Amino acid sequence: METIDLRGLKCPLPALFTKRTLSNGADGLEIAILTDDPMAPIDVPHMCHREGFDVIVVERDGDKARMVLKRPMAWVPAPDPDAQEHPAP
**Hey, which residues are catalytic here?**
11
- Distances in Å between the Cα of 38 and the Cα atoms of 24, 45, 56 are 26, 13, 19
Q: Is 85 exposed, middle or buried (0-12, 13-18, 19+ CB in 10 A)?
A: exposed
